[in-house]
Structure 1
Amino acid sequence: MSLVKQLILAICLFLLIAFSGSFLVSLESSRNQLQTQLRSHAQDAATALGLSLTPHVQDPAMVELMVSSIFDSGYFARIRVYAVSDGQVIVERVRSLDETKAPDWFVRLVNLQEQTGDAIIMNGWQQFARVEVVSHPQFALNKLWDSALGTLAWLVVCGLFSALLGALLLKRQLMPLMSMADQAEAITRREYRTLPRIPRTPELKHVVMAMNQMVGKLKTLFEEEAAQTEHYRRQAYHDALTDLPNRLSFDHTLAAALTSTESLEGHLLGLRISDLNKINQQLGGARTDALLKSIGTQLKALQEAHPSWLCCRSRGGEFLILAPGSNLESVQAVTEQLAIQTAALEALTELHEQQPLEFGIAGYRIGDDSKQLLGRVDQAMTESSLSGTSIKPGYKPASEDDQTLNNAHEWRSLLEQALKDFQFTLHFQPVLQGADLKQLLHQKLLVRMRSADGQLMMAGQFLPWVERLGLSAAFDRCMVGLALSHLQRHPGPLALSITNDTLHSAENRKQIRQLLEQHRNEAAHLTLEVDARYLQNCDDLASLAQDLRPLSVQLGLQHFGRQLSLIGELALIGLSYLKIESSFIRDLDTESDKHLYLEALVRTAQRIDLLLIAEQVQSQGEIAALKAAGIEAMQGRALAEPGEWKTEGNT
């Protein structure tokens, strides 16, 4: 029972005791007073009636009339006139004592007895008759009953008012305690937040300040651990001069992009400063380093504009840009703009020889060989040429027999029809956890779509066009609807990715929330996953978590690994898990340089009790290496191939 209810019950009990005691004391006092009044009333009535009957003692009719007139006033139980000599009754009127509105239990409790008065009727100098008057206690009982009801009503009103006022005051005083309880529950959900309002009550003030200090220490600890882990990552995967990812980071990301069927197809851009040694001799080492830093600054701006891309310094004066999900037109526009900006750098304009910049574009598909792809982009850079003062980048397509749609109108028609008729095929891949990887954490929903010729397309082929054509919000609503429909038939934990547009649009989040509210039972099994590469801050992610929490929908972060600076903020949100980007996992068993960073990431996640899941695990060697690093939840082809729902084995 809550403290407020206990307080209300105590107030009611206290008022009941107070009312009972007050009533009993008042009853005893009132009963003695009323009995005296009844006795006096009976005696006065008897005396008055005796005097009135003396002149008419020989007239029985008049005696009876006078007795009846007094008796009919209703204040008497009995009036009797009888002869003194032989006791013969001359006149008698009697009324029942049950004529009262007070209940029987109250009458028995009061025990108010009738009172008697008498007088002598004289006939000359002789006593002729005696008048006996008995007062009726009905009116005294009614008065006591009304008084008791009035007292009870007043005490009930006072009790209700006191209970309400006490509950409000107690609730106000206990708000800091409730906030601390919420704060403690939030810690169990991996949300570490402080209470901004400090109560004035000294005892509560001390407790709240202690809780805030503890949460602040935890957050600081997480941030320090994350900063140390980020330091390890930058040492291993960043170029010190340009502050861009280095060739090792690029190789890992490229390998993951080419081996996963869930990755997006796209293009690889190359930028090269030819004959860097000669430029270094002309400009000097300091100015050459400044030139490389300037190009790095431009590429970092490009990285911020396209969070899913990876811009890196490969070696010397060569830079590579991996652009998954890009189309040729947008990549050519980006390359031309980058060429203009780079060619305009002061250090390059001072060179007296031919423009040393080379740009190239090479397309790639899932399954391509990384060496062949790098060869294509190298050849494309070699074939770049000058057209006046502008640089025309070379281009090498992924293949010459490209049969996929390239026309935006055709893609829009195909996608809009699929969204309208829910013409998507759902595939599922289990996410397993435990030392033996036998326990199902959830099923990851993967979407496929039929092309115009009936071929089943992977998500990486059509998702870029979904984003490019502004259909992301409609696509997310469609996928959530399909997931809820599936959960109606097959209840169980299910994870579904949502796009960047839904994450960063309040209106899109509202529409998703309304859809989930209509299917609360099914939504309780759902986990929505957000792409960590698009996180610049955690404000929108926190808003989404707040919207989903009343619906019991969980929230996860996928493709995580480069955003460790946000780990302190992520600890406050209450995520269910982090899925580690596949580039940090690929060939983990053979590339020892990845172990230090991954182990640091595991330690950081363990400190905030956050589950880590390795995504796109491709080999048994990677599984063993991940277990050794402390990661016991995984998803990938090495565990189970994606496929359509099978009742057996998925129940």
Structure 2
Amino acid sequence: MSLVKQLLLAICLFLLIAFSGSFLVSVENSRDQLQTQLRSHAQDAATALGLSLTPHVEDPAMIELMVSSIFDSGYFASIRVVAIADGQVLVERTRSLDETRAPGWFVRLVNLEAQGGDALIMRGWQQFARVEVLSHPQFALNRLWDSALGTLGWLLLCGVISALLGALLLKRQLRPLLAMADQAEAITRREYRTLPRVPRTPELRHVVLAMNQMVGKLKNLFEQEAAQTELYRRQAYHDSLTDLPNRLAFEHGLQAALTPGETPDGFLLAMRLGNLNQLNQTLGAARTDAILQAMAVPLQAIQAAHPTWLCCRSRGGEFLVLAPGSQLEDIQALAGQLATQASSLEDLISQVEHQPIALGIAGYRPGDGNAQVLSRMDQALAESSTAGERIKPGYRPADAGQIVDTAHGWRTLLSEAIEQRRFVLHFQPAMGGQGQTQVLHHKLLVRLPDTQGQLMSAGQFLPWIERLGLAGAFDQCMLSMALAHLDKHPGALALSITADTLHNPEQRQRLSQQLDKHNGAHYLTLEIDARYLQNSQDVGQLAAELKTSGCQLALQHFGRQLSLIGELALIGLAYLKIESSFIRDLDQAPEKHLYLEALVKTAQRIDLPLIAEQVQTKGEIQALISLGIEAMQGRALAEPASWQEQAG
């Protein structure tokens, strides 16, 4: 029972005791006073009637008339005139003692008895008769009952007012305690909040300040852990000179991009500055470093504009852009911009004999080998040429594989698929527990029949969905299909949504409204691509909007955004899925272990589950378990399949 209810019950009990005591004392005092008044009233009436009847002792009619006139005033229970000589009743008028407005239990409780008085009627010097008057207690009882009702009403009014004022005052005084309770519950949900308003009450003020201090220390601890882990990542995967990812990061990213499954086709754009040693000897290390930093500036802008791409400095004067899901015309336009900027650098190094800056574009498809793609890149760089002052990039395409090869064809195919819900749902379980035998949830993976009826993976058509502005409609379609699946097969389900929905308030609102109308929304977890996160504001807003439906929120492809983990801890995410580039060949790449160990430690401190995604080999499973990551998803555990195949 809440403290407010306990206070209300205490107030009611106090008022009941106060009323009962006050009523008993009042009744007892009033009863004695009223009995005295009734006795005096009866005696006065008897005396007056006796004096009035003395002149008319010989007239029985007059005696009866005068007795009746007094009796009819209503204040008497009985009036009798009794002869002294023989005790004969000459005149008698009576009224029932039960005539009263007060209930029987009140009459019995008060026990107010009728009071009498008498007087003599004289005939000359002789006593002729005796007048006996008995006062009726009904008027006293009615008055006492009205007084009791008035007292009860007043005490009830005081009680209601006291209860309301007490409840409001107590609620106001207990607001900091309730806020601290919410604060403590938020910590269990991995949300670390401080209370901005400090109460004036000294005791509560001390407790609130102590809680805020504890939460602040926890938050600082997590931020320090995250900063240390981010430092490990930058040391391992960043080039200190250009502040771009290094060759190791590129190799891991290329391995993940070439993994068959959900990854899209893409292109590799390379920019190479030759004779770097000659430049270094002629211009000096400082000037050469400045040239390399100038070459890196446009790549940093490209990385910010395309979070899913990877712009890095491979080695020496070689820079690479790994662009999954990109289109050739976009890469060619980007190469043209880099060519213009690179041409301006030629003026800085014209005094040194060197090979010109080369640009190359190489296509790739999931399933290609690393060496195969790098060989295409080298061939493309070798084909690069200079026409006047402009660099012409070389180009080596990937093997043909796309059935739909025009924007119009893609728009027609995708629009019809969204409108008619022609997508095919596949599922892949995320496993955890001892021996990875427990199904944590099923990840919904979408397939699209092409013009020849073959199923395309999401990586093949999702870039076109985003490029054609169909992301919002696609998310609504996928959510409807996911909820329809939950109607038939309730159970934990994970669904990815695009960055367009995350950053668009109107689409977020439509998403929330659709979830609010469905009873099975609490089974669903929406996954957001962490690579699109620049801050946690939109994620926090979406998480708040989803709370009413019970739907949870999680991040996938997480790994490069560790600096945000302190902010993400305040949101209450369901889990983080680690990007596959940190998982690929983990058992053969010990340099990845240090970062993952730090990530696991940081996540454990904020009680945030980690799931490794796209696990491909048994060796990766064993390496993940040794690092403390037991939840994972990938082909090494289960192939994506239809629900019937999964259930079978």
Give the shorter-chain TM-score range. Answer: over 0.9
Matches within 5 A, 1:205-354: 205-345=205-345, 348=348, 350-351=350-351
**Cα pair distance change 1:89/1:636, threshold 3 Å:** same
Give the secondary-structure state (helix, strand or coil) at the position aligned to 2:588.
coil
The one-letter code matched in structure 2 to 1:340 is T
Alignment deviations for residues 469-502 of structure 1 (CA, whole Å, 9 cap, x no partner) = 1111111111111111111111111111111111
The one-letter code matched in structure 2 to 1:529 is E
Shift of 1:394: 2.0
Residue 104 (str. 1) matches residue 96 (str. 2): no
CA contact (8 A) 1:271 1:357 kept: yes
CA contact (8 A) 1:532 1:563 kept: yes
Alignment deviations for residues 390-413 of structure 1 (CA, whole Å, 9 cap, x no partner) = 3232222222x4443232222222
2: CA distance between counterparts of 1:12 and 1:216?
42
2: CA distance between counterparts of 1:388 and 1:352?
18
Q: More deviation in 402-411 or 488-497?
A: 402-411
Q: More deviation in 346-355 or 458-467?
A: 346-355
Structure 1, unmatched stretches of 5+, are: none
2: CA distance between counterparts of 1:333 and 1:648?
44
- Paired residue for 2:610, among 599, 612, 627? 612
TM-score normalised according to structure 2 size = 0.97
**Cα pair distance change 1:537/1:274, threshold 3 Å:** same
Shift of 1:81: 1.4
The one-letter code matched in structure 1 to 2:571 is I
CA contact (8 A) 2:427 2:646 kept: no
Shift of 1:91: 1.4
Q: More deviation in 351-360 or 113-122?
A: 351-360
1: CA distance between counterparts of 2:637 and 2:209?
48
Structure 2 counterpart of 1:454: 453
2: CA distance between counterparts of 1:135 and 1:283?
130
Structure 2 counterpart of 1:52: 52
1: CA distance between counterparts of 2:135 and 2:257?
108
Shift of 1:264: 2.1
Structure 1 counterpart of 2:9: 9
Shift of 1:270: 1.0
The one-letter code matched in structure 2 to 1:408 is A
Alignment deviations for residues 433-489 of structure 1 (CA, whole Å, 9 cap, x no partner) = 012111111111111111222221110111111111111111111111111111111
Structure 1 counterpart of 2:597: 599
Structure 2 counterpart of 1:514: 513
Give the secondary-structure state (helix, strand or coil) at the position aligned to 1:269.
strand
Structure 2 counterpart of 1:570: 568
Shift of 1:12: 0.9
TM-score normalised according to structure 1 size = 0.96
**Cα pair distance change 1:136/1:104, threshold 3 Å:** same
- Paired residue for 1:525, among 517, 523, 538? 523
Residue 556 (str. 1) matches residue 520 (str. 2): no
Give the secondary-structure state (helix, strand or coil) at the position aligned to 2:48.
helix
CA contact (8 A) 1:43 1:117 kept: yes
Q: More deviation in 276-285 or 161-170?
A: 276-285
CA contact (8 A) 2:447 2:456 kept: yes
Structure 2 counterpart of 1:125: 125
Q: More deviation in 114-123 or 54-63?
A: 54-63
**Cα pair distance change 1:104/1:346, threshold 3 Å:** farther
Structure 2 counterpart of 1:539: 537
Give the secondary-structure state (helix, strand or coil) at the position aligned to 2:589.
coil
Give the secondary-structure state (helix, strand or coil) at the position aligned to 1:436.
helix
CA contact (8 A) 1:260 1:616 kept: no
Shift of 1:349: 6.7
Shift of 1:48: 1.9
**Cα pair distance change 1:647/1:340, threshold 3 Å:** closer
2: CA distance between counterparts of 1:346 and 1:648?
59
Shift of 1:283: 2.7
The one-letter code matched in structure 1 to 2:462 is L
Alignment deviations for residues 287-330 of structure 1 (CA, whole Å, 9 cap, x no partner) = 11111111112211110111111001111111110111111222
**Cα pair distance change 1:454/1:351, threshold 3 Å:** farther
2: CA distance between counterparts of 1:569 and 1:294?
33
2: CA distance between counterparts of 1:58 and 1:267?
139
Give the secondary-structure state (helix, strand or coil) at the position aligned to 2:599.
helix
Give the secondary-structure state (helix, strand or coil) at the position aligned to 1:634.
coil
1: CA distance between counterparts of 2:186 and 2:217?
16
Structure 1 counterpart of 2:430: 431
CA contact (8 A) 1:449 1:456 kept: yes
Give the secondary-structure state (helix, strand or coil) at the position aligned to 2:643.
coil
The one-letter code matched in structure 1 to 2:368 is D
Give the secondary-structure state (helix, strand or coil) at the position aligned to 2:642.
coil
Matches within 5 A, 1:115-194: 115-194=115-194
Count of matched residue positions in the alignment of Structure 1 and Structure 2: 648
Give the secondary-structure state (helix, strand or coil) at the position aligned to 1:562.
coil
Shift of 1:248: 1.0
2: CA distance between counterparts of 1:479 and 1:561?
26
Shift of 1:506: 1.8
**Cα pair distance change 1:347/1:277, threshold 3 Å:** farther
Shift of 1:634: 0.5
Structure 2 counterpart of 1:197: 197
Q: More deviation in 275-284 or 113-122?
A: 275-284
Structure 2 counterpart of 1:487: 486
The one-letter code matched in structure 2 to 1:554 is Q
Structure 1 counterpart of 2:30: 30
Shift of 1:230: 1.5
Matches within 5 A, 1:456-475: 456-475=455-474
Shift of 1:516: 0.8
CA contact (8 A) 1:287 1:347 kept: no
The one-letter code matched in structure 2 to 1:505 is N
The one-letter code matched in structure 1 to 2:489 is H
Alignment deviations for residues 37-70 of structure 1 (CA, whole Å, 9 cap, x no partner) = 1111111122222222223322222222222222
2: CA distance between counterparts of 1:150 and 1:413?
83
Structure 1 counterpart of 2:580: 582
Structure 2 counterpart of 1:371: 371
Shift of 1:124: 2.8
Give the secondary-structure state (helix, strand or coil) at the position aligned to 2:87.
coil
**Cα pair distance change 1:325/1:74, threshold 3 Å:** same
The one-letter code matched in structure 2 to 1:269 is L
Give the secondary-structure state (helix, strand or coil) at the position aligned to 2:262.
coil
The one-letter code matched in structure 2 to 1:481 is S
2: CA distance between counterparts of 1:342 and 1:586?
34
The one-letter code matched in structure 1 to 2:497 is I
Shift of 1:202: 1.5
Shift of 1:647: 7.7
Give the secondary-structure state (helix, strand or coil) at the position aligned to 2:436.
coil
Give the secondary-structure state (helix, strand or coil) at the position aligned to 1:404.
coil
Shift of 1:137: 0.7
2: CA distance between counterparts of 1:579 and 1:403?
30
Shift of 1:347: 5.5
1: CA distance between counterparts of 2:581 and 2:8?
61
The one-letter code matched in structure 2 to 1:475 is F
CA contact (8 A) 2:576 2:609 kept: yes
The one-letter code matched in structure 1 to 2:626 is A
Alignment deviations for residues 314-355 of structure 1 (CA, whole Å, 9 cap, x no partner) = 111111101111112222222212222232247647557798
Alignment deviations for residues 594-618 of structure 1 (CA, whole Å, 9 cap, x no partner) = 1111111111111111111110000
CA RMSD in angstroms, aligned pairs only: 1.7
